[in-house]
Amino acid sequence: MTPIRTLIVDDSAFMRHALGRLLTEAGGIEVVGSVGNGELGLESARALHPDVITLDVEMPVMDGLTMLRRLMAETPTRVIMLSSLTTEGAATTLDALDSGAIDFVAKPGGSLSIDIGRVGADLVAKIQAAAAMSEASFLGHRQRAVQRHPQAPVATRPASSPIQTRSSIAARRLVVVASSTGGPGALNTLVSGLPARLGAGVVLVQHMPPGFTASLAGRLDSAGSLPVAEAGAGELLVEDEIVVAPGGHHLISSTTGRAQLVQLPPVNGVRPSADVTLLSIAPAWRERLLCVVLTGMGVDAREGARAVKAYGGTVFAQDQATATIYGMPAAVAEAGLADRVLPLGRMADAIVAWARAR
């Protein structure tokens, strides 16, 4: 197999060395260049035409976000961001995903992460997934990013703002949305298409580490008509409100319809896991439950979708043409569990129709 030609852009000489060694030892990846700022990154991208770029956020001369936006305009290339585990790092990373980055890996030790090997397998898997994208999928992903985020990030309320509850009506129907790679952009599109009076509660299970889901909720809160916030332990799942499963926790629901947050081990390599959420709530919600599986790597949500179907619920999956990574929705569709396979642009209308059906 042809090795994945990868360019490393990071201002730390130590990080460039550590990443280069990690990727080379993984096999199947060739590090074709290693530079210390965004300006050199752009020059190297034009000269080397790498398959994938790993891109640091904080750099001198030209930072990672500026480089990314210029790269997507001038030399579109698949990018995996490296982010620090901070509130500011999370916000910038979401800007990067809005601007066309495929995915990100959070450095476990901050900007100078001497234990980068802890996330080495995750980084390699995301590089491989980015490289495996078809040209059509990548160009579609980039075009959707341009349409969502042509200039500057959208202003949002602080990520920590609680939901301003407009109704205390316990949800009579529930929509659980599962997503991973490409999910933040897909969720933005989905949430912006939902009306203020949906007639169902919504739970979003996006694969992200702690801290990042709070920023995601803040972004989505400004995307559409429904209020969005991170789920809190013991909160009632309410109609016409969206909650996001917090990074580092699995979200389950009690029989009374209250969210419970648990720190059981990762499932399918992730926490939160959509399988955990769906398997826990399918027996109680039965035909009142809709599972929506969007873009993402892996097979999380497949077994949960199987449970949803077994208890009389409904399953929708995103189609291949509009998915950044056709992994999770493919696993559901190929297992024969999807009642409908839909393009992203039609998913919100399908959810509304389901929520309002007798």
pLDDT tens per residue, range 216-274? 999 999 989 999 999 999 999 999 999 999 999 999 987 778 999 999 999 999 999 99
Residues 158, 143, 81, CA angle at the centre, nearest 5°?
55
Rg (CA), the chain: 20
For residue 107, tell me if it sits in a domain.
yes
**Active-site annotation holder among 10, 240, 275, 300:** 300
> Does residue 17 carry a catalytic annotation?
no
CATH for 234: 3.40.50.180
> Does residue 300 carry a catalytic annotation?
yes
For residue 284, tell me if it sits in a domain.
yes
Burial category of 178 from C-beta neighbours within 10 Å (exposed 0-12, middle 13-18, buried 19 and up): buried
For residue 121, tell me if it sits in a domain.
yes
Report how far residue 306's alpha carbon sits from residue 278's, in angstroms, rounded to the nearest whole number.
9
Taking the CB of residue 74, how many other CB atoms lie within 10 A of it? 11
Query: For residue 82, what are the domain limits?
Result: 4-148
Report how far residue 79's alpha carbon sits from residue 97's, in angstroms, rounded to the nearest whole number.
9
Report how far residue 357's alpha carbon sits from residue 348's, in angstroms, rounded to the nearest whole number.
14
Residue 154 has pLDDT above 50, yes or no: no
- Does 325 lie in the same domain as 200? yes
Q: Could you read off the pLDDT of 119-152 as tens digits, one per residue?
A: 788 899 999 999 999 888 888 888 877 776 554 4
Tokens encoding 17: 């060395």
Report how far residue 61's alpha carbon sits from residue 39's, in angstroms, rounded to the nearest whole number.
7
Tokens encoding 2: 């042809």
- Does 191 lie in the same domain as 136? no
Residue 161 has pLDDT above 50, yes or no: no
Q: Which of 114, 148, 182 is the last residue of a domain?
A: 148
- Does 248 lie in the same domain as 328? yes
- Does 117 lie in the same domain as 198? no
β-pairing verdict for 250-253 and 259-262: antiparallel
For residue 226, tell me if it sits in a domain.
yes
- Does 179 lie in the same domain as 56? no
CA pseudo-torsion sign 219, 220, 221, 225: positive
For residue 165, tell me if it sits in a domain.
no
**Active-site annotation holder among 149, 207, 249, 250:** 207
Q: Which of 148, 163, 188 is the last residue of a domain?
A: 148
* Residue 60 pLDDT class (50, 70, 90 cuts): confident
For residue 31, tell me if it sits in a domain.
yes
Residues facing residue 35 across a β-bridge: 9
The predicted model scores a pTM of 0.89
Tally of domains in the chain: 2
b/e burial code for range 220-244 (CB count within 10 A of at least 16 → b): bbebbebbbbbbeeebbbbbbbbbb
| Alpha-helical segments (H) within 200-243 | 212-221
Residue 188 in contact with residue 177, Cβ under 8 Å?
no
* Residue 203 pLDDT class (50, 70, 90 cuts): very high
Q: Does 272 sit behind a cis peptide bond, omega within 30 degrees of 0 on the bond before it?
A: yes
Q: Shortest CA distance to 95 belongs to which of 130, 67, 62, 129?
A: 67
Report how far residue 63's alpha carbon sits from residue 55's, in angstroms, rounded to the nearest whole number.
9
DSSP 8-state code for residue 245: P
- Does 224 lie in the same domain as 347? yes
Any idea which residue has 């349409």 for tokens?
A: 147
For residue 62, tell me if it sits in a domain.
yes
Residue 178 has pLDDT above 80, yes or no: yes
**Active-site annotation holder among 180, 215, 273, 280:** 180
Q: Which of 133, 148, 163 is the last residue of a domain?
A: 148
Confidence at residue 109, expressed as pLDDT on a 0 to 100 scale: 59
Residue 115 in contact with residue 108, Cβ under 8 Å?
yes
